[in-house]
Amino acid sequence: MNDRSAVISALTTLRDYVRWGASRFNQAKLCFGHGTVNAIDEAAALVLHAIHQPHDLPAGYFNCVLSLEEREDVLNLLQRRIEERLPAAYLTGEAWFAGLAFKVDPRVLVPRSPIAELIEQRFSPWIGEPEAVEDILDLCTGSGCIAIACAYAFPDADVDAVDISADALDVAASNVERHEVEDQVSLYQGDLFAALPEKRYDIIVSNPPYVNSEEWEGLPAEFHAEPKLGLEAADNGLAAVKQILREAGEFLKPEGILVVEVGSSAEALEEAYPEVPFCWLDFERGGDGVFLLTAEQLREYSALLS
């Protein structure tokens, strides 16, 4: 049933196209992990986008019959996913993070950090009084998703967001405008802390590049579609992370916290600093490789981190 006209004649409902798309995705051995974890979810996201329906469309609508024009649009998008090996979010131009929709394109990574869950919980229990949080810093902001989600979670806080990429900041600026948080979120271009004003933060949060060169070379095509600058890091994946550890203490308030995602480089980080008591966070929705250190711990272990 690879003939296009045969597919359109045989498949009629939204459910048909999700099932068919998932089968073709598995046959093509596509890689998932940019907001979805399997072929069915990926196909559903693309089918719904193609027919201009929300991602949370009630299940009862999946038996609806698609028009011939809709079937053409769906097939076109599913075929692009197979041929171009782009993450679905780049094909739809949108990704979800912490329950919020963000514009994305190949200038930024597709949002998928487990830190979203932590933001939704307002960094509990490490932040005892969320209403007292005044200043938050998001390093390596990319699309701005972490900074903007923090602005929602802490509506009285000022949020600074930094990225070294001007292209990424263009995307972040469009998302700041989309969510109407211009008065709360400030964007800075620079290498980590270099471009920041002289101030201290209650929370510093970062999803920096942490993939080592060998691992990056072996990633599937979908990951190579993302900006290499946002993924790969020198020094066994730890170059940016080590700089954050060296400098964060100078930018945290006395009771502040540092939260950093290091993903697959967690083991390398512990080997580099065996005496530092990294607190590795657990997430109900899955994900790992995120540590937390307090400002007090950064001060105590500053000699080891320098």
Q: Is the pLDDT of residue 271 over 60?
A: yes
Mean local confidence (pLDDT), 133-162? 97
Return the pLDDT at 2: 57
State the average pLDDT for the chain.
94
Q: What is the pLDDT of residue 1?
A: 43
In sign, the C-alpha dihedral spanning 187, 95, 179, 283 is negative
Give the residue from 118, 120, 112 showing the smallest Cα distance to 96. Answer: 112
**Type of residue numbered 299:** R
CA distances (Å), origin 253, targets 200, 210, 241, 256, 282: 5, 26, 20, 5, 25
Q: Side by side, which strands form the sheet with 185-189?
A: 185-189, 158-163, 135-139, 201-206, 252-261, 290-294, 279-280
Segment 58-71 mean pLDDT: 92
What is the C-alpha separation between 246 and 260, in angstroms, rounded? Answer: 13
- Per-residue pLDDT reduced to its tens digit, 178-198: 999 999 999 999 999 999 988
Domains of the chain: 4-92 (no CATH), 96-305 (3.40.50.150)
- Give the residue-averaged pLDDT of 143-167: 97
pTM surpassing 0.85? yes
Reported confidence tier of residue 6, pLDDT bands at 50, 70, 90: confident
